[in-house]
Amino acid sequence: MTDYETLDRVGRRRIEDLLVRIESEFLSTPELRLTVSEAQRRFEADEITCEAVLDALVDAAVLFKTRDRVYGRLFPHLMAA
């Protein structure tokens, strides 16, 4: 394995760990609402990575995102009512 492959693997693992941490936090605290900068501080991640993970959770229908870029837990069954 090359150094590049090792770094790539470590980077992917770090992002996966961050995704699990963020998802777990929102699932365990349903009323939680965070901006990207608040999430950065809370999860000790850089802005680009943090926003990418939050947006991935929006795409996966775990979170919603407001026009003001505030993220919160998505409850699809409530939206259908």
H helices present in the chain, as ranges: 3-28, 36-43, 47-59, 76-80
Q: What are 33-54's pLDDT values in tens digits?
A: 999 999 999 999 999 999 999 9
pLDDT top residue among 17 and 77: 17
- State how far the alpha carbon of 2 is from the alpha carbons of 6, 15, 23, 63, in Å: 6, 20, 32, 36
**Is the whole model's pTM more than 0.85, yes or no?**
no
8 — pLDDT class (breaks 50, 70, 90): confident
76 — pLDDT class (breaks 50, 70, 90): low
For residue 72, what pLDDT is reported? Answer: 97
How large a percentage of the chain has pLDDT more than 70?
84
State the residue for tokens 């961050």: 18
Residues in the chain: 81
For residue 81, what pLDDT is reported? Answer: 46
Complete domains list, the chain, with CATH: 3-80 (1.10.10.10)
Amino acid identity, residue 16? E
